Structure 1
């Protein structure tokens, strides 16, 4: 089989009123019906909104309230067209393949209707053998009907009837902008007489013996071929029993490219192989991020007919064992929420990922790479692909394989608020089954895939998650058991027996919530007193970076404001109003300017989120993990629960999450943020690590904002690599010397006294406006940054951080192209690094030191930010910047000088 990508062909798109494309001219006057737009250049993969913006037919939907003006787009019909050269035919069938049409479409070749399609996630395949063999060029036309009227976040799940991504219709972190278009690859697939189908490659391992196994199965699909007289066959399908000596050969190479195994199996008369079990001696095991490396083995499948090569397939896989266990002290009826990889329990440090953009078809490989690297750098080891979004493109799962991110994959269905009951409509069940089988067959071949879920927040009644007894979920469970039997299927997230977090004991297994800071002291009292087994969705909201706010808020709206008082702020994140919360904690002066307000809001987001993460981790493996809502946002929000805003700017919460997810960590448990003079400051101290370690020390220091040492103690602790150890307790009298704001600095020291992990916690002696002193305790004006060398190119190839991208030499009509994947070129995600020393020469603490890249041409991340420097302290850090290479509406979000190096500015709170 050979594939030619058609993405790079000259595609055009044109808009029409409904039904007009089916009628060329008016019945009444005979006049040609022109359409609502002219033909305009189209991006494939993509979506019509980006094309309309480039053509000047819509205003920037993200600016102000402009998305309201774009809602007409979803109500028109859109026609794509392209003409391309036909490739050299094989002896079998030639197919036109669409990997993602969004949503209802009719496909034509040379004006002839090939068929109709509904859905987003299963391949659409048309036989074009005759056209490909009898003509030099082929014209393809794809006509999309208007978008279906599906449920947004608020509605009735029981009435959903499509497999369209629902966040497009309005969610708390997005607007209404319903995508239409060709959102994934288009290609021509040329088959020989026999082709491989239904390929499955999975693995297992015996960590103690150091061996592994690769399990391979496949089917053979055949086509009628030329007869003895040389007549051209029509590509009709035949069965394996009609062939002679069909054989599947499997060759395995280790991560260095050395051949390590070979196996062959005959294809049965039913067209299938049995499962081949290929042993691997001295296997190099694939580990989740933070637990080791991710070596990938090459698996090459070759289909032979009478000794002749008919088809080949090449995949990469990791060798690892995967199993599931109940939590410690788990109720007997609870599902297994502990993931065990290579015999070791993995404490989940996860994030929920929404689609990277409303225009998910325009997301570039570089965007996927950047967000995967952000997860990897933050210590994330699991990403939940949320059921209200999309099933992602293959390149995302390839990246997760390479970087050790376990994938929790949901099928495409979600709660709706009014009712959350999984839809039982026959047409819907047929559609979701198509989606499920397509996803199962593709994603099961990724070593990163760890667990399937029926969808997001599906409930049979309020606060009662649906179970395997639901007919919809029972069907999906059976499909998983049929097509991917080695992996767990959870009915929904959360899976109950109650939906939402509660202090009531014994009923919180897998729960969601909350998504708001619960106040002082309520936040700390709640999360210190829960017993959930798994926490698969929760968050805290915070305002976006000012750099980002300036890109979509009108100048008149760049002010601290409640969403009750601004339609524009409400439009960009209504649920996530932090104004009253932040006034309560910082006082009225926090509203003095947008910069201060943004930083204060992000501080509470980081503080609230860190406490939940640490509280959960202190109960490891009674609690088996945390999955933060959410990593990213697909739309520019003034405020949301994301760790990284739409423009790729990491919030304070990203870096505090990074510390909470560290392999070594120390944490403090406390019940409130304020302790008056004369009261006893109390905190419990904990330490943990991935590996068993003895001779550790938790050093605790209470410090004033001027750097004065108020209290110090050291507690010896050893950890077993499985549990969080109680290291000691702090009890000390608060005096006037503490001032109005003080911090607890926790450091985990190795036996030689080196710092393995550090955390700063901030407390107040005030009764109200507890963090108000931070506004006047020193603005970091004496903070100095010294560059320790020039910007240097980062060799991402050596680190295994390369991306696959379509090269100019692999266009669809390139006669030298044999396979789309084989002709991808490896291209670096252009990156530069620089080291800096930051020093506080002032007499007050420089709180939450951070950086901003000012050319706007680069995404940025550092090995640490949002830390505090006391007077006289210095710290060195490395900053990495990646050249922005985004698609869709973000394509223009780049610096003015394309060749400019990054420019960084550092500041404190």
Structure 2
């Protein structure tokens, strides 16, 4: 079989009122019924909104309230068309395949109906063999009906009737902007007499517990399907070639088979290179080539795949109740502590997402020591490129089927039409994704509940059906009925109830935030977050100048439209005092988001493996929000919380257990110090208490034996809080990891009873000097990125909080080795900055890098302060 990609054909699209394309001419007048729009150039894959925007039919729906004036788009019918030429290949059967039609379609060839299709995730496949044999070309038309009137976040799950992404219809991090279009690839599959079908690959390993000899197994099952013509009775030759991760052939197996048979074989791989999640080892991938030849040695079909070899198990947590599910993942005999994130679609109009956007997001995950991503059930089943990248980078995938809670009721739908669509989607996902070594968990959907605060279980016929499909098509993987999986939905102070829990999504206030999370006993925290504003750089892209000032969501329709649930103004005014401008509001809000999330991650990690991990809600956002629970904003800018998550997820880490940010002068502070991930041997942690001038008030050194499988308490930090009030105090933990690199973790406390962090607004004595130590150098795959090193020096008299780099333009995705670091007077730090040219799709394409664009321009900022504008490209450059 050969696959010919048809995305780059000349596609056009035109809008109509409903039913008009089927009628064509007026019954009364006999004249042509014209469309709502003219024929326009179309992007495939993509969606009609971007095509309309390019032709001036709509304003940018991501800005201000513009999306409200775009809601007519989902209520029209849309026709795509292109011309398909006869392939210059010998073929027994030719199939036209749409990998993703969104949502209900009729497909025509030269006005002949090929068939109808409903559903986003099951490919639409049409046999065009006979038609192409009669003609040199075909005009292909795809009629997409108006989008179904599905529910957004608020509604009744029991009334769900589609397999369309529900976040499109309004969620707390999105608006109502319902995609219509051809959202995934269009291909022509050219078959010879027989083809491979239903290829399934699983791997396993014998870790040599008995004889010390490690071996691997790759199990392959694939059927041979006759594609056309009279019954093929001749013998066929099936061969399977396995190559090692460097491309060297390891073995070849050959079989004599007949059409209709199933090849079921197992390849033994001695001394395999094992696949591990990010942070636990490497991700070597073995290549497989499945070739099918006829009796004349003519190639009929060849499939190429990659897989990793690993042993996968699931066990109960340490001290787990008997009625709990096995939440601890074990790979190659090693227990994996989950450092996870929840992922929404990368764009509201997901058809426009590019491979480069996937690459950037997965890169950011890997750089932040993340090892698992939960693909959320209210979104989409992602495109193939996403799962390929997870395989390569060691990001385990928790894949949910397309179901989600609705608030009014959260009971999985039992409507017959829905169950049939769900079954088709699930089977497609299972067939497609089971061959990815990164796939680790299947889940029935998001927050499905049989009654309030009680997650649904396998007594629900909907979820029992999905469980049966997983057992049939991918029995190696764990199936969880829903997330959270109970026995209660939301995190609770009650002991023994929080197995797999969700919540909360707000900073819970000082001291309750620390009391709740610091003493919790959940087994798995599969969704939680804290909200925070986007950066000023991003806010200025979608808010008009008149709306670029601090305001409550209650008092601004525009702000409410971009993040209604995530109003943090009162929180910031309680912690810092009055918010005077948007820059201040953003900086303070991002600080509180980072502080809140970091504490939860560290508190959970202190209970490793009684707690099996944390999955932060949410990594990204598909739409620009003023405020949201995301770590990376719509434009690809990382928030402060991303960098504190990165720090909390470091392989070796030191943390402080505290229960309040408020210090009372004249009393003593007590807080245990923990080390995480240190694999045996002595570890020494230095704890230092400093004031804002950098004066060291107290030091304490701890020593203990490390243990990679649990957090080790090395001792109690115990110091007397000084008498002066309304001051900030800093606790800095320092230690050297196994590579002898110095690592630090800083906590900021205050003695201010009112507006606890307000003293931070008065810090004005810091002064940042920056040297660019090197010219920009090409780096990375293909040498398309640019990298430079900068030395930062605080020459002032007070601490500089949250020092970070910012790329001044919009053409690069910027990543700094360290961000939002703290420099006390006299301290220096060298930071590496890498900038990668943007190559995004859809409404982000306007920021894409052009060959005429210059090198990146970097400025450095600290809390509320920008230090200088440009940095020279010469090593001797300096600015203050």
TM-score of the pair, normalised by structure 2: 0.96
How far off is 1:119 after superposition? 0.2
2:499–2:523: 8 Å Cα contact kept in structure 1? yes
Choose from 617, 621, 625 the match for 2:605. 617
Alpha-carbon displacement from aligned partner over 1:253-298 (angstroms, at most 9, x marks no partner): 0011111122234546753123x11010120111110111111110
SS of structure 2 residue aligned to 1:693: coil
Rounded Cα–Cα distance in structure 1 between residues aligned with 2:463 and 2:298: 44
Equivalence map 1:355-434=2 (5 Å): 355-434=345-424
Farther off after superposition, 345-354 or 848-857:
848-857
- Residue matched to 1:662: 650
Alpha-carbon displacement from aligned partner over 1:620-647 (angstroms, at most 9, x marks no partner): 0000000000000000000000001111
Choose from 423, 445, 464 the match for 1:455. 445
2:165 corresponds to 1:165? yes
Q: 1:881 to 1:33 in 2, by over 3 A?
A: same
- Residue matched to 2:128: 128
How far off is 1:108 after superposition? 0.2
- Residue matched to 1:718: 705
- Residue matched to 1:879: 833
- Residue matched to 1:707: 694
2:715 corresponds to 1:732? no
Alpha-carbon displacement from aligned partner over 1:281-336 (angstroms, at most 9, x marks no partner): 12011111011111111001112333543111000111111110000000111110
How many residue pairs end up in the alignment?
Answer: 858
Structure 1 unaligned blocks of 5 or more? 226-232, 798-827
- Residue matched to 1:481: 471
Higher relative contact order (CA 8 A, sep 6+): 1
- Residue matched to 1:786: 771
Rounded Cα–Cα distance in structure 2 between residues aligned with 1:678 and 1:247: 84
Rounded Cα–Cα distance in structure 2 between residues aligned with 1:905 and 1:706: 24
- Residue matched to 1:688: 676
Choose from 583, 596, 608 the match for 1:608. 596
Q: 1:484 to 1:352 in 2, by over 3 A?
A: same
1:317–1:446: 8 Å Cα contact kept in structure 2? yes
- Residue matched to 2:874: none
2:839–2:849: 8 Å Cα contact kept in structure 1? no
- Residue matched to 1:859: 813
Farther off after superposition, 677-686 or 400-409:
677-686
2:606 corresponds to 1:641? no
1:297–1:316: 8 Å Cα contact kept in structure 2? yes
2:224 corresponds to 1:220? yes
2:80 corresponds to 1:80? yes
2:76–2:145: 8 Å Cα contact kept in structure 1? yes
- Residue matched to 2:876: none
Equivalence map 1:725-804=2 (5 Å): 725-736=712-723, 740-750=727-737, 754-778=740-764, 780=766, 782-796=767-781
How far off is 1:897 after superposition? 8.0
1:352–1:384: 8 Å Cα contact kept in structure 2? yes
How far off is 1:133 after superposition? 1.9
Alpha-carbon displacement from aligned partner over 1:187-243 (angstroms, at most 9, x marks no partner): 110000000000011211123432211110101110334xxxxxxx8xxxx5xxx53
Rounded Cα–Cα distance in structure 2 between residues aligned with 1:722 and 1:427: 47
Equivalence map 1:8-23=2 (5 Å): 8-23=8-23
How far off is 1:586 after superposition? 0.5
SS of structure 1 residue aligned to 2:56: coil
SS of structure 1 residue aligned to 2:575: helix
Structure 2 unaligned blocks of 5 or more? 864-880
Q: 1:735 to 1:338 in 2, by over 3 A?
A: same
1:322–1:342: 8 Å Cα contact kept in structure 2? yes
Rounded Cα–Cα distance in structure 1 between residues aligned with 2:853 and 2:621: 28
1:858–1:902: 8 Å Cα contact kept in structure 2? yes
- Residue matched to 2:555: 565
- Residue matched to 1:627: 615
Rounded Cα–Cα distance in structure 2 between residues aligned with 1:857 and 1:255: 35
1:696–1:751: 8 Å Cα contact kept in structure 2? no
Find runs of 4+ consecutive structure 1 residues off by over 6 angstroms. Answer: none
Alpha-carbon displacement from aligned partner over 1:677-735 (angstroms, at most 9, x marks no partner): 1111121100011x523111111000001000011011002222100001110111111
Farther off after superposition, 210-219 or 657-666:
210-219
Alpha-carbon displacement from aligned partner over 1:501-524 (angstroms, at most 9, x marks no partner): 001011111000000000000000
TM-score of the pair, normalised by structure 1: 0.93
Alpha-carbon displacement from aligned partner over 1:863-908 (angstroms, at most 9, x marks no partner): 1100100000010111111111111111113478842111111010
1:695–1:751: 8 Å Cα contact kept in structure 2? no
2:179 corresponds to 1:140? no
Alpha-carbon displacement from aligned partner over 1:654-696 (angstroms, at most 9, x marks no partner): 000000000000000100001121111121100011x523111
Equivalence map 1:83-482=2 (5 Å): 83-208=83-208, 209-225=213-229, 242-267=232-257, 270-274=260-264, 276-306=265-295, 307-482=297-472
Q: 1:268 to 1:840 in 2, by over 3 A?
A: same
Rounded Cα–Cα distance in structure 1 between residues aligned with 2:40 and 2:765: 52
The CA RMSD over aligned residues, in Å, is: 1.4
Q: 1:48 to 1:750 in 2, by over 3 A?
A: closer
